[in-house]
Structure 1
Amino acid sequence: MATTQPVTIEVDTSMRLVAPDFATLAVRASLRYDQRDPYAVHVVFHPDGEGGESISWSFSRELLATGLTEPSGIGDVRVWPWSTPRGEAIALALSSPDGNALFEVPRNVLTRFLRRTYGVVPRGRESEHLDVDAALTRLLAERER
C-alpha cells in the first residue's frame, strides 16, 4: 500500500502594515497551509535584517475565506474586504495583549492561496483529512513543554 506525504502550501507575499494615519509599510510574510491541520491557515511575518524571529498567527481557513466577501471574525483575528488606491485588498486585523495591527493583503494573493488549499483539502471535507490521534499527541506534547 502506497502512502502519500502530507501536502504543505506556502506562498511568500508582501503585506502592508497600515498605520493609524493610514500610511502603509511593506512587510514580508508567508501564507501557509498544512494538510495535517486542515482547518487552519497560518500567516508568518518575517523580520527584516539579521537575528529577528518570525511571528506566526494561526486561524480558521473558513474565517479567511468568508472575509474575502464580508466581514469575518471576532476578537483576535478579523478579516474584511478593503479597497485601496493600489486595488482590491483584504484587511487583516490582528490583536493580542501586546498590541494591535492592521494589514492590507492583495485580494488576488489570498484568492489564489485559498484555491490551492482547496485543491489539497476541498472546502467542507476537512474532517476527512484530520488525524485526531496525531492532533491530540501534538496538543499534549505542547502542554508538557
Structure 2
Amino acid sequence: MHPDQSPLRARSAPRHVPPLLLDIDQMLDEFSRQAVRAEFRFDPDTPAVVTVEFLAERGPGVIWRIGRQLLHRGLTEMSGFSDVRMWPTLSGERPSSWLLLETQEMEALFELPTAELAEWLDATYRIIPDETELDGLDWDGFLLGLTGGPGVPGE
C-alpha cells in the first residue's frame, strides 16, 4: 500500500454512481412499440429516490422521481401502487420488467431490460444501503413543513 493511502480509504466505496442510460420500449398499444431513451440518476443526498428522465428526440424530456426500493422490487415482483407500478414480464428472450406511470391526463407503459438496471441499482445500494437511506433526513423540519409549524420558510 502506498504511504499516502490509509486502509480505510482503500476499502471505502465511491460516493458516486454514474447515470444509467437505457434503451427502453414504450408500449403504444397492444402491438406497437416506440424506442425511448431513459436516464436513471442517483443522488446520495436523496437515496430513497431515483430520478428518471425520459429523453425526447426534440424538446425537453419528462422527469419522474421514483422510489429506489419500488424499482428494485419491481425487478422480481409486483411493486408500487397508484401512479407508479413495476413488475417483471413473463419469461422470454431477455429478462425485463414493466414500468407503468399514470397521471389523470395520461398513462405510459414501458418495458425495461432488467440486467442493466439491477446492476446499476446494486451499485447504489453499495453506496447507501437500504436500511440506512432515511438516516440523514431532518424529520422535524419535514413535519414542520407539512404542518406549517413555526420555522417554516416564507413566514
Question: Fold-level match, TM-score > 0.5?
Answer: yes
Aligned-pair distance for 1:127? 2.2
Q: Which has the higher strand share?
A: 1
Is the counterpart of residue 100 in structure 1 residue 107 in structure 2?
A: yes
Question: What SS does the corresponding residue of 1:62 show, helix, strand or coil?
Answer: helix
Is the counterpart of residue 61 in structure 1 residue 61 in structure 2?
A: no
* Residues 111/8 of structure 1: CA separation in 2 closer, same or farther (3 Å cut): closer
Counterpart position of 1:45: 54
Q: Which has the larger radius of gyration?
A: 2
Aligned-residue CA RMSD (Å): 2.5
Aligned-pair distance for 1:9? 3.6
**In structure 2, C-alpha distance between the alignment counterparts of 1:85 and 1:69, rounded to whole Å:** 14
4+ long deviations beyond 4 Å: none
- After TM superposition, list the pairs within 5 Å mapping 1:1-145 onto structure 2: 7=16, 9-49=18-58, 52-83=59-90, 86-128=93-135, 130-132=136-138
TM-score by length of 2: 0.75
Aligned-pair distance for 1:25? 1.1
CA contact (8 A) 2:22 2:37 kept: yes
Give a deviation string over 1:37-85, Cα, whole Å, max 9, x none: 0111121011103xx1111101211111111111111110000001475
Equivalent pairs, count: 132
**In structure 2, C-alpha distance between the alignment counterparts of 1:131 and 1:8, rounded to whole Å:** 21
Identical pairs, percent: 31
**In structure 2, C-alpha distance between the alignment counterparts of 1:98 and 1:57, rounded to whole Å:** 15
